């Protein structure tokens, strides 16, 4: 039956390119999308007839161009995926809607590569229904009712939710979903053809990364893999969690790193962990803007990703959110043994891509206030549900970062320096950081001031110790879950945490913020701005989406002091300060995280520093709401986000601990560490 329906759908699609039935302004759009879907069908048939593992490089390059050429680079300017392009050709109400539908059809790339004919057919049938709506209206000399078409979209999204949830959960927890695993284990990495087999967009970054890694000695690759997996293992030991009860590890990484990942898989297997390797969403409309959720290729076009960041506004409603929560819970329940076996994610991130200047788009969909509130509410409920099936107190993670060739001509040198950076002697940092912790444990607050063009003036209130001999405020963080080494951090007291955090430039989730300012009152954000756009409101919306995650009055979850001056020196030497991934950047100065604390969902887990003292500042006034008997209040305990914003050393006038008697203890002054016993950290800065 499925095959018969697919044949009928293909026949219907094949007629669209030669027709002009949707009306002069709309026929070119439907022609373009129909041709794309027909090319996907042709690709699917080719994959059935000939094993993709035998395809040559030129074949794969043609497929890559066919799948992504329409939105990559300058081609996006004249693509029906672009709301600005559509907005100049169709009625304003369709300018965001039609590009979204095209992008949604692009998600079928995943259906083809993972052989999900049923989901592919669902999308084709929805598109054909939309086409017929326009054709029928055109016959009467008008456009279809936007409300009717919008309702049809909401119905389609509701209908496909069960399949989507099943796919999402299986990808997160089931090691038997071995599409990516088989590519990794069976491929000859010296032949770049394998890179294309994931179905993601492949650029020179992925090809040159794989080529460079294959040129390294085997012992270097093994060192990279060992650093990655040991950080994961030590994370369990340090927090007193039992790794032996776990059976699977989620691997999330950028394509091109397979030579390291294959060795990491072998290491994880020795720990008793099978790899769970999801593929990143093939369409920006199916994931959160700026984030990856699996094995990922290059972003074909960052402007396209930005333009579609709020496409869910076209159909998001309470009924759909309830349906998603229901189907996710159902799928977790059916696979709860698998879910309980998930040990957590092991992630490789990348840095080095040049900053991208985003443009405003007046036609892109935007969330209403009601929809923003819905997102906040249901993200919280979804996180709570997931935590019940994959308990936070039982899982851990690790994250490590490497450069990509786009970082510049000195890529090999930067990669070598990053490998060295990721394996610095943690004992040196542990000792120096303990000196700072011991001093700050005697303070009631910390004062941070910028210098030069930086206007930072912020007071951070600290937890009050009741038993200083056994308790400590800050965690002494070395190289385990967050690689590389180098920070101390705490959950600050919100009341009394006031002032302005200002960074002239910072790179977060693929976006460079210019003159980012966040004003804080009693630990909560009250105002914010940046100078990315001519229109200040556009900048505010960017911050609301990406840093505040739609939360009103989001709180500070973490205050930290980064101590990795070697990382800072590396960034300065190579001129890549504006390209550093936050994982490294957070170690290169004091930083504030907005959102949940570092102990989110693990507040009851006892945690100790190497000196044996218990880390007691694991909560703040927001996270404590989880204990409220009022269910509505308890839901407010978590924001389900955590965004670090670092004040680099060269913008730092000073950082002082303030004692009860008003005495100031200098930790950093004029961009240098001044506390006795910490000055060694200045050597890379002074080099």
Please tell me the predicted confidence (pLDDT) of residue 353: 85
d(CA 60, CA 70): 16
Q: Which of 249, 193, 189 is nearest to 221 (CA)?
A: 189
Q: Which of 75, 515, 420, 79 is nearest to 227 (CA)?
A: 420
d(CA 325, CA 321): 6
| DSSP one-letter string for 438-479 | HHHTT-SEEEEEE-TT---EEEEE-PPPS-TTTEESSEEE-S
d(CA 656, CA 170): 49
Please tell me the predicted confidence (pLDDT) of residue 576: 86
**Which residues of the chain register pLDDT less than 50?**
none
Tokens of 324: 């998603």
The b/e string for 520-537 (b: 16+ C-beta within 10 A; e otherwise) is bebbbbeebbbebbeeee
Contact indicator for 487, 504 with CB cutoff of 8 Å: no
DSSP code, position 588: S
Contact indicator for 199, 110 with CB cutoff of 8 Å: yes
Please tell me the predicted confidence (pLDDT) of residue 229: 96
d(CA 484, CA 203): 27
d(CA 294, CA 595): 23
Contact indicator for 525, 499 with CB cutoff of 8 Å: no
Tokens of 38: 């027909």
Three-state DSSP at 681 gives helix
Radius of gyration over every alpha carbon of the chain, rounded to an integer in angstroms: 26
Please tell me the predicted confidence (pLDDT) of residue 634: 85
Q: Which of 69, 66, 8 is nearest to 42 (CA)?
A: 66
What kind and span of H or E run contains 276? Answer: strand 274-276
Q: Which long-range contacts (CB under 8 A, 24 or more apart) does 284-287 make?
A: 284/103, 284/308, 284/309, 284/311, 285/100, 285/103, 285/104, 285/107, 285/311, 285/312, 286/107
The b/e string for 336-375 (b: 16+ C-beta within 10 A; e otherwise) is eebbbbbbbbbbbbbbbbeeeebebbebbbebeeebbebb
DSSP code, position 343: E
Please tell me the predicted confidence (pLDDT) of residue 620: 94
Tell me the C-alpha to C-alpha distance, in Å, between residue 187 and each of 20, 197, 242, 344: 46, 10, 34, 26
Q: Which of 510, 69, 470 is nearest to 303 (CA)?
A: 510
What are the residue ranges spanned by the domains of the chain?
2-162, 179-394, 424-686
Please tell me the predicted confidence (pLDDT) of residue 356: 78
Contact indicator for 687, 624 with CB cutoff of 8 Å: no
Q: HSE (CB half, 13 Å, CA atoms) of 401?
A: 21
d(CA 306, CA 684): 37
Q: Which long-range contacts (CB under 8 A, 24 or more apart) does 290-293 make?
A: 290/508, 290/509, 290/510, 290/511, 290/546, 291/509, 292/252, 292/254, 293/252
E strands, 480-555, in order: 487-490, 493-508, 511-521, 524-529
Q: Which of 373, 680, 341, 367 is nearest to 541 (CA)?
A: 367
Please tell me the predicted confidence (pLDDT) of residue 568: 87
CB-based contacts of 138: which residues, under 8 Å, 6+ apart?
Answer: 21, 22, 23, 26
Please tell me the predicted confidence (pLDDT) of residue 150: 96
Respond yes or no on whether the N-terminal peptide bond of residue 484 is cis (omega within 30° of 0).
yes
d(CA 229, CA 343): 13
Contact indicator for 347, 400 with CB cutoff of 8 Å: yes
**Structure confidence by residue, pLDDT tens digits, 312-346:** 999 999 999 999 999 999 999 999 999 999 999 99
Q: Which of 123, 119, 103 is nearest to 111 (CA)?
A: 119
Q: Which of 390, 393, 273, 276 is nearest to 333 (CA)?
A: 390
Tell me the C-alpha to C-alpha distance, in Å, between residue 530 and each of 511, 585, 648: 12, 19, 17
Please tell me the predicted confidence (pLDDT) of residue 282: 79
d(CA 55, CA 485): 43
d(CA 499, CA 523): 9
Please tell me the predicted confidence (pLDDT) of residue 587: 80
- Bridge partner residues of 493 (DSSP): 461
Phi then psi for residue 663, to 5 deg, are: -70, 135
What kind and span of H or E run contains 68? Answer: helix 57-68
Q: Which of 276, 247, 246, 272 is nearest to 261 (CA)?
A: 276
d(CA 220, CA 260): 9
* Surface-to-core class of residue 240, CB atoms within 10 Å of its CB (0-12 exposed, 13-18 middle, 19+ buried): exposed
Please tell me the predicted confidence (pLDDT) of residue 591: 92
Q: HSE (CB half, 13 Å, CA atoms) of 215?
A: 9
Tell me the C-alpha to C-alpha distance, in Å, between residue 419 and each of 141, 267, 612, 629: 65, 18, 30, 49
Polymer length of the chain: 687
Please tell me the predicted confidence (pLDDT) of residue 485: 82
DSSP code, position 180: H
| DSSP one-letter string for 376-425 | HHHHHHHHHHHHHHS-GGG---EEEEEE-GGG-TTHHHHHHHHHHHTT--
Say how many C-beta atoms besides its own lie within 10 A of residue 329's C-beta.
18
Question: Given phi > 0 = left and psi -120 to 50 = alpha, else beta, which region is 187?
Answer: beta
Q: Which of 183, 186, 379 is nearest to 295 (CA)?
A: 183
């Amino acid at each position: 039956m499925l095959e018969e329906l697919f044949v009928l759908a293909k026949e219907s699609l094949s007629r669209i390119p030669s027709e002009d039935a949707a009306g002069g302004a709309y026929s070119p759009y439907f022609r373009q999308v129909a041709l794309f879907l027909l090319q996907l069908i042709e690709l699917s048939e080719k994959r059935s007839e000939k094993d993709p593992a035998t395809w040559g490089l030129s074949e794969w390059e043609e497929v890559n161009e066919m799948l992504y050429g329409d939105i990559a680079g300058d081609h996006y300017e004249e693509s029906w995926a672009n709301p600005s392009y559509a907005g100049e050709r169709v009625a304003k109400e369709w300018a965001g809607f039609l590009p979204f539908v095209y992008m949604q059809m692009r998600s079928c790339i995943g259906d083809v590569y993972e052989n999900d004919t049923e989901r592919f057919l669902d999308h084709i049938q929805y598109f054909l229904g939309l086409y017929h709506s326009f054709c029928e209206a055109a016959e009467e000399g008008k456009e279809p009712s936007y409300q009717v078409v919008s309702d049809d979209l909401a119905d389609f999204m509701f209908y496909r939710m069960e399949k989507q949830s099943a796919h999402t959960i299986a990808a997160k927890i089931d090691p038997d979903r071995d599409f990516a695993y088989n590519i990794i284990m069976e491929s000859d990495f010296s032949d770049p053809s394998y890179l294309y087999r994931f179905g993601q967009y492949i650029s020179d970054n992925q090809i040159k990364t794989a080529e460079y890694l294959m040129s390294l000695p085997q012992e270097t690759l093994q060192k990279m893999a060992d650093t990655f997996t040991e950080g994961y293992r030590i994370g369990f030991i340090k927090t007193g969690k039992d790794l032996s009860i776990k059976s699977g590890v989620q691997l999330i990484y950028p394509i091109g790193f397979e030579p390291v990942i294959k060795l990491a898989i072998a290491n994880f297997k020795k720990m008793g962990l099978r790899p769970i390797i999801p593929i990143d969403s093939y369409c920006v409309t199916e994931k959160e803007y700026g984030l990856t959720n699996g094995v990922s290729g290059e972003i074909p076009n960052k402007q396209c990703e930005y333009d579609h960041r709020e496409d869910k506004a076209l159909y998001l409603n309470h009924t759909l959110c309830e349906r998603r929560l229901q189907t996710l819970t159902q799928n977790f329940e059916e696979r709860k043994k698998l879910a309980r076996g998930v040990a957590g994610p092991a992630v490789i991130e990348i840095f080095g891509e040049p900053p991208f200047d985003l443009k405003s788009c007046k036609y892109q969909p935007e969330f209403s206030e009601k929809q923003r509130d819905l997102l906040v509410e249901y993200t919280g409920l979804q996180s709570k549900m997931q935590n019940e099936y994959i308990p936070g107190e039982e899982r851990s993670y690790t994250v490590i970062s490497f450069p990509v060739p786009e970082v510049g001509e000195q890529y090999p040198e930067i990669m070598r320096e990053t490998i060295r950076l990721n394996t610095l002697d943690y004992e040196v940092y542990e000792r120096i950081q303990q000196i700072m912790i011991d001093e700050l444990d005697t303070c009631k607050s910390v004062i941070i001031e910028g210098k030069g063009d930086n206007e930072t003036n912020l007071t951070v209130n600290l937890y009050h110790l009741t038993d200083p001999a056994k308790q400590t405020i800050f965690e002494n963080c070395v190289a385990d879950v967050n690689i590389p080494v180098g920070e101390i951090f705490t959950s600050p007291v919100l009341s009394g945490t006031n002032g302005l955090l200002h960074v002239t430039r910072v790179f977060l989730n693929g976006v460079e913020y210019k003159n980012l300012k966040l004003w804080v009152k009693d630990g909560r954000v009250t105002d914010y701005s940046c100078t990315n756009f001519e229109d200040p409101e556009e900048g505010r919306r960017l911050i609301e989406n990406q840093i505040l995650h739609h939360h009103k009055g989001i709180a500070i979850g973490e205050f930290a002091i980064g101590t990795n001056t070697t990382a800072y020196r590396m960034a300065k030497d190579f001129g890549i300060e504006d390209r550093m991934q936050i994982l490294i950047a957070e170690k290169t100065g004091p930083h504030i995280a907005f959102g949940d604390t570092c102990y989110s969902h693990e507040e009851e887990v006892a945690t100790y520093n190497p000196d044996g003292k218990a880390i007691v500042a694991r909560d703040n006034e927001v996270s404590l709401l989880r204990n409220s008997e009022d269910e509505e209040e308890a839901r407010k305990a978590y924001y389900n986000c955590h965004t670090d914003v670092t004040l680099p050393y060269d913008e730092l006038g000073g950082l002082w601990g303030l004692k009860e008697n008003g005495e100031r203890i200098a930790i950093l002054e004029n961009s240098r560490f001044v506390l006795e016993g910490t000055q060694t950290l200045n050597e890379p800065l002074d080099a």
